Amino acid sequence: MSDPLSPDLDHRSAADVALGARFRAREADWRQGAVIYQVFVDRFAPSADLAAKEHLYPSPKRLRSWDERPQVGQEVPEAGLWTHELDFWGGDLASVRTRLDHLEALGVEVLYLNPIHVAYTNHKYDAEDYFGVSPEYGTRADVAALADDLHARGMKLVLDGVFNHVGRRAPWFEQARAGASPAQDWFYLGEEFAHGYRAWYDVGNLPELRLEAPSLRARLWGDADSVVQGYLREEGVDGWRLDVAFDLGFRYLSELRAAAHLAKPGSLVVGEVWNYPPEWLAHLDGIFNMTIRELTLALARGQVSGAHFGRATETLVADAGLERLLKCWLILDNHDTPRLATELPEAWQRELAQVLQLTLPGAPQLYYGVEAGMEGGPDPEMRGPMDWERAVPGEPEFDRLRELLAIRRERRALRIGDFVRLDSESLLAFARKTDRVSESVFVIANPSAETVRETLVLRDSKLMSHARLRELRARERVIETTCGLARVELAPREVLLLGVEVPSTHEYSPYKRIQ
């Protein structure tokens, strides 16, 4: 007689077979649910050869010591910038390569770099030459070497594309003002503009590009040797993050994405969009899910209830589609926002926010230094040099993030699983599910200052009655279930991450014919 537990027997339903194929397809796409780590190259790791680079920071640029913190400088109206935009700490692409062990140990899958192109300022959002790398950072050969190192570790590299504007010192802009062709058609020039040209947010140092010019779009992304396609083809980078993507508009975003996919099928084009996601996702692989960021901060501050957060997220998943949301970046902080430890000063708030960042559908983006609990307010304070002394085991912020990242690695559902909201009066409760009951993860959070007791319907038909849910973190919490229900009691500010205990024995199991 055949053994009903034999792996040769397939007891799956037709629905499960289809589900399994869907989840395998998601898993095969590195862009879905990947863990992103953002690096501001100048501030991430000290250069090993700083003395030899000092000539690259001529006055009025200033080279700071690693223990100094960025501070607001003085505005220089005639230059269209601030003095703190000329403060440098000396990091480069070579020094980033020395810290890849740290990223791999955390569980990072994608390294995203702030702009690296030739530019005058430290932030490099004022590109002078897209085809070259700023000499403070290295060369295009250094980009290729970094990409090779990452690929050898199974990781990817994403660059920052700033294609809405350039810097005032860009040769293209100087040629345009001199009437040279074709650059004269690449900018908005005229006396009707305060600066004599249209500038991004009226910042004099950032003249806007006139993307309506076909010859300009060809050089940026249309040609095989364009900026977008060139780095994908030649240096082996894996994708682009588009600065102020909302300014490029739907048509040009679609055009750029198609060009990137032509150069490297399966590459990523993700846009900085601070809007409600759905319509943008028809034109990009993913966007910044700033809607979830704002909801998360509001939840941690007591401005929305857990139940409302759950309903709003369910609506977003329905509106945008889960497949698309899985490629969207889940951001809590970055180079444009105060740091997480500044936004949410209480440890329980940060725990709640990071649990959601690492369990909701999407690709969590970690801003360098978050694992060290770095603080920093508005620009330029949030762009401080990396605090390596606190990015080590034994530090509370590091240990919490490392534990959550390890759980995410171990639980397939947290990367590619469906999102299922669990109905609750006041708690935030949801599940991430695949076709396998053993992979289900239940997230239950009580953001309030009161103890909450509720009975939750777990919405998982494969979960056997009397199944046990066990806390996935280093805790002893176990919750018994009955007929698909869980009676829970959560202390104030408590967050639970629960996995299903499926007996792993050759003796009797109610899961013997259920995957």
Q: What is the distance between the alpha carbons of residues 186 and 344, in angstroms, rounded to a whole number?
A: 43
Report phi then psi at 125, rounded to 5.
-85, 10
User: Which run of H or E residues covers position 443?
Assistant: strand 441-445
C-beta separation of 498 from 444 below 8 A: yes
User: Which run of H or E residues covers position 269?
Assistant: strand 268-271
Bridge partners of residue 488, in order along the sequence = 454
Q: What is the distance between the alpha carbons of residues 129 and 230, in angstroms, rounded to a whole number?
A: 14
Query: What is the three-class DSSP state of 206?
Result: coil
Query: What is the three-class DSSP state of 182?
Result: coil
User: Which run of H or E residues covers position 488?
Assistant: strand 485-490
Q: What is the distance between the alpha carbons of residues 122 and 90, in angstroms, rounded to a whole number?
A: 10
For residue 494, what are the CA distances in angstroms to 18, 96, 274, 352, 471?
37, 37, 30, 8, 12
Tokens of 156: 């990817």
User: Which run of H or E residues covers position 318?
Assistant: helix 306-320
Which segments within 68-215 are labelled E, that is strand?
A: 75-76, 81-82, 87-88, 110-113, 117-119, 127-133, 156-161
Report phi then psi at 406, rounded to 5.
-65, -40
Catalytic residue among 136, 272, 435, 494: 272
Catalytic residue among 126, 243, 375, 397: 243
Query: What is the three-class DSSP state of 433?
Result: strand
Q: What is the distance between the alpha carbons of residues 341 and 336, in angstroms, rounded to a whole number?
A: 15
Placement of tokens 């494969």 in the chain: 462
Which segments within 225-291 are labelled E, that is strand?
A: 239-242, 268-271, 286-287
Count of helices and strands (H, E) across the chain: 16, 22
Which segments within 204-355 are labelled E, that is strand?
A: 239-242, 268-271, 286-287, 329-331
Which segments within 406-484 are labelled E, that is strand?
A: 418-421, 428-433, 441-445, 452-457, 468-471, 478-482
Q: What is the distance between the alpha carbons of residues 33 and 24, in angstroms, rounded to a whole number?
A: 13
Bridge partners of residue 208, in order along the sequence = 165
Q: Determine the angle formed by the axes of helices 347-359 and 396-410, rounding to 10 degrees.
A: 20
Placement of tokens 């509370």 in the chain: 396
243 carries an active-site annotation: yes
272 carries an active-site annotation: yes
Q: Which residues are catalytic?
A: 243, 272
